[in-house]
Homo-oligomer: A and B are copies of this chain.
């Protein structure tokens, strides 16, 4: 079994919460970690299914929620359908509305400006979303690049 660090993290989370360690959860985590990028539940289900035909959509769906709770995955919603990415350092996204490409970026200055603004309203920030939608470099140079 690959991804031993993550598998162990999942195992620890399950134990700490009196949840059970099943083949399905292990398999779904494995496939998820191999799938690069920002994958939808449906796509992940297809990927899982090609390797483990007996695993149902519901289990994939529930397992992704579980992985989010366990801190192994993050859920995003750019266009009305949830997408999952492997948990890593905090970052925001540039989303190309033509080709669907997603670029990650980080900006310490924006982070601190956010905190300053929230503080000025006495607001306690628990999470945030910051997404820039537009056209990536490739999609601008290809035809139909106006508007």
Contact = CB atoms under 8 A, between A and B. Distances in A.
Contacts of A124: 134-135, 140
Interface string A53-97: 000000000000000000000000000000000000000001011
Given A103-B123, A124-B134, A128-B133, 12 more contacts: A103-B121, A109-B109, A117-B132, A118-B132, A121-B137, A123-B135, A124-B135, A124-B140, A125-B133, A129-B129, A129-B130, A129-B133
Contacts of A125: 94, 132-134
Interface residues of A, number: 30
Interface in A102-147: 103, 105, 107, 109-110, 113-114, 117-118, 121-137, 140
Interface of A: 94, 96-97, 103, 105, 107, 109-110, 113-114, 117-118, 121-137, 140
Contact of A105 (B107, B117, B136): B117
A107, A109, A123, A125 interface centre (most CB from chain B within 10 Å): A123
